[in-house]
Amino acid sequence: MTTTLPRDARLPLNRCNLPAVILGGLTYQAHPVPLEIDGVRAFHHDLFALLAPIASHPERAGLFVEYMAAHFCLGDLEEAGLVPGKVRKARRNANYLRMVRGWSFDSDGREGAVLKHWAETRFGLLARHHAGPLDGRDGDAYHRYLVAGSHGLYATNALEAQLDLLYTYCQYELKRQHPEQTHRTLYRGSNRIDEHEVLDRAADGGYRVLLNNLNSFTSERERADEFGDYILTAQVPLPKICFYNGLLPGMLKGEDEFVVIGGVYAVRIETL
């Protein structure tokens, strides 16, 4: 039975507290521990000190949005160093919220490439799919994906650092709202079983699959039915949830959408 992350699906280095071979394997799915991107929580200590006494989730979300705008000068990019007239308005306004909303609209678009590349560098999990299979790091498809991600990052203001803090805040909220919970049951619909990289079949009838490094799931099984006749059900560790619609007001198109870090998962796959 395949339990570890294949060598060709991971990088030797990442920027978090666990190597990819561990956080991307089945043992981690069964027994998760917190994931922390290097230095983010300590660098933004003041934010979390301000959040601590606030009992209301909407108030905390509002404070987070204000902090992001102030810290990254999102309302005054000239103050952050961008030269007026040198960068198109669409690039000047490329921030963490636009990346997340772009993902919701088309995860194979430019914003999706930015987010998948961010997941590669932070967690060491290589993207497996972007507008088609990526077939290894030396292939043309992978190079096109890298180009799309580079274009998405061009002339932005510390966009990857914004995403680091978004993930860290997401983990803070999940821990605060669900202190005893370790997993969330989530669902993903697809039209063909071969859309998933099935590694093997378990004795209990479940599957071992290798997911893309970032994936959209839903918390409502009925919603997953809208995306295909095959329904994948996974017990997702909370540390592998990057962000979800309820984290910030109007964040994602789907009210029940969760964006999940990939790796090897034990799942059930059913047909309608």
Question: Tens digits of per-residue pLDDT, 145-201?
Answer: 999 999 999 878 899 999 999 999 999 999 999 999 999 999 999 887 777 799 999
Is the domain of 169 the same as that of 187?
Answer: no
Asked whether residue 226 carries a pLDDT value surpassing 90, the answer given is no
**40 or 4, which is more confident:** 40
Number of residues assigned to the chain: 272
Of the residues 177, 199, 229, the one at which a domain ends: 177
Q: What is the pLDDT of residue 1?
A: 57
**66-115 pLDDT per residue, tens:** 999 999 999 876 554 555 555 555 455 689 999 999 999 999 999 999 99
What is the reported pTM? 0.93
Which residue type is seen at 156? T
The domain containing residue 267 runs over which residues?
183-271
State the Rg of the chain over Cα. 18
> What interhelical angle do 96-105 and 110-123 show, nearest 10?
110
Cα–Cα distances (Å) from 74 to 58, 68, 116, 162, 244, in that order, read: 21, 7, 22, 10, 22
The answer to the question of residue 40 being in a domain is yes
Q: Please indicate, yes or no, whether residues 71 and 204 belong to a single structural domain of this protein.
A: no
| Pair (107, 211) in one structural domain | no
Structure tokens at 26: 């089945």
Angstrom distance (rounded) from CA 66 to CA 79: 16
pLDDT at residue 130 above 90?
yes
pLDDT at 227: 86
Residue 253, pLDDT above cutoff 90: no
H helix intervals, the chain? 20-23, 26-30, 40-43, 45-51, 57-71, 89-92, 96-105, 110-123, 140-153, 159-177, 221-224
- Is residue 37 very low, low, confident or very high in pLDDT (cuts 50, 70, 90)? very high
How large is the average pLDDT for residues 133-144? 91
Specify the 3-state DSSP secondary structure of 261. strand
| pLDDT for the residue 154 | 85
Residues 140 and 253 in one domain: no
Mean pLDDT of the chain: 91
Pair (240, 138) in one structural domain? no
Q: Is 93 or 257 the better-scoring residue by pLDDT?
A: 257
Q: What is the pLDDT at residue 250?
A: 76
Number of domains in the chain: 2
Same domain, 173 and 188: no
**14 and 101 inside one domain:** yes
Q: Is 226 exposed, middle or buried (0-12, 13-18, 19+ CB in 10 A)?
A: exposed
Kindly state whether residues 137 and 51 are assigned to the same domain.
yes
Are 151 and 38 in a shared domain?
yes
Residue 246 located in a structural domain: yes
What is the per-residue pLDDT for 92?
Answer: 58
The number of angstroms, rounded, from the C-alpha of 219 to the middle of its chain's C-alpha atoms is 15
Tell me how far apart the alpha carbons of residues 77 and 118 are, in angstroms, rounded to a whole number: 22
The angle formed by the CA atoms of residues 259, 261 and 266, to the nearest 5 degrees, is 110
Q: CB of 155 within 8 A of CB of 226?
A: no
